[in-house]
Amino acid sequence: MNKQDFLEAKAQNFVKYISGYKPSEKIENFIQSFSKEEIIPTITGKLIPLVSVGATDTVVSDLLLELEVLPEDKEAVGAKIKAYILMFVEVIKS
């Protein structure tokens, strides 16, 4: 399996995961408009720079604001979202 195929599968899993938390219209629109051809450019152009400047926690916090997550679940959901982000970046860098 090449990087593109792997990332497409993981991106589908990520979308399925966050969709379980009733994403806001803004996030839903982004999900609907996103194409698999944009996965690698998005990771290299947006996620890698954010991770490299240490903004991962801010990105996670911002995304959590766009989801309906129970207060007691926010830490676990945030940790899983962060793990996805870091995995996407690591796959591109490897």
Q: Encode the chain (94 residues) as per-residue pLDDT tens digits.
A: 899 999 999 999 999 999 999 999 999 998 888 888 889 998 999 999 999 999 999 999 999 999 999 999 999 999 999 999 999 999 999 9
**Residue 1: what pLDDT?**
81
Question: In the prediction, which pLDDT does 38 show?
Answer: 87
> What is the per-residue pLDDT for 92?
93
> pTM of the full predicted structure?
0.88
Q: Within a 13 Å sphere around the CA of 38, how many CA atoms are in the beta-carbon half?
A: 9
- The helix/strand/coil state of 21 is coil
